[in-house]
C-alpha cells in the first residue's frame, strides 16, 4: 500500500502538476502586481478613481449588487490586457528573433479550409475514377 502511494506521488504528471500550480501562483502574483501597481494607477491618472462596487439595483426589496460584477469584469479585462501586451507579445517577438538568429525557418502558413477541401475532393476523384463509380463530380 505504501509502495503504491510512493509510485503515485513520484509519477511525472503529479510532480509536473504540482510545479505548474506553484509556478502559476507565483506568476499570478506578478500579474496582479503589474495590474495593481502599474496599470491601475495609469488608468486612475487618466480617468480618475472609478469605484463601481457600491452600485446596487433594488427589486422587490432585494438588492442586486451588480457593481461588484462590473468591477470583476473590468479587473479581468485589465489582467488579460496586461498579460497579452506585456508578456505574450514580447515573448512571441523574442521567439521570432531567436529563430531568425539561429536560421530556423519560420512556420509555414497553414493551409486554408478551402485548400484542404479541394485536396480531399481531388483525392476522392482520383480514387473513384478507376472504379467506374460515377462521373467523378461531387
Q: What is the mean pLDDT of each run of 10 residues along the chain (138 residues)?
A: 80 80 90 82 78 84 87 82 86 89 76 84 79 50
Identify the three-state secondary structure at position 39: helix
CA distance 133 to 124: 11
| 61/92 same-domain check | yes
With contact defined as beta carbons under 8 Å apart, do 18 and 9 qualify? no
**Same-domain check for residues 43 and 15:** yes
pLDDT of residue 112: 82
Residue carrying the nine cell digits 472504379? 131
Residues 26 and 61 in one domain: no
Q: What pLDDT is stored for residue 83 in this prediction?
A: 81
Indicate the pTM of the whole model.
Answer: 0.51
- Pair 17, 59 in one domain: no
Which pLDDT score is estimated for 11? 74
Same domain, 32 and 78: no
Given a contact cutoff of 8 angstroms between Cβ atoms, the answer to whether 53 and 71 are in contact is: yes
Residue range of the domain that includes 100: 51-127
Same domain flag for 57 and 123: yes
**What pLDDT is recorded for position 38?**
84
100 and 84, same structural domain? Answer: yes
Amino acid at each position: 500500500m505504501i509502495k503504491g502511494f510512493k509510485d503515485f506521488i513520484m509519477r511525472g504528471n503529479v510532480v509536473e502538476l504540482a510545479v505548474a500550480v506553484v509556478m502559476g501562483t507565483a506568476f499570478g502574483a506578478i500579474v496582479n502586481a503589474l495590474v495593481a501597481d502599474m496599470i491601475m494607477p495609469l488608468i486612475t491618472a487618466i480617468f480618475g478613481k472609478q469605484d463601481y462596487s457600491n452600485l446596487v439595483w433594488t427589486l422587490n426589496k432585494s438588492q442586486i449588487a451588480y457593481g461588484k460584477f462590473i468591477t470583476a469584469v473590468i479587473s479581468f479585462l485589465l489582467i488579460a490586457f496586461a498579460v497579452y501586451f506585456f508578456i505574450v507579445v514580447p515573448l512571441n517577438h523574442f521567439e521570432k528573433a531567436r529563430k531568425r538568429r539561429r536560421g530556423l525557418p519560420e512556420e509555414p502558413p497553414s493551409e486554408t479550409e478551402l485548400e484542404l477541401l479541394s485536396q480531399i475532393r481531388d483525392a476522392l476523384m482520383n480514387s473513384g475514377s478507376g472504379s467506374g463509380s460515377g462521373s467523378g463530380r461531387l
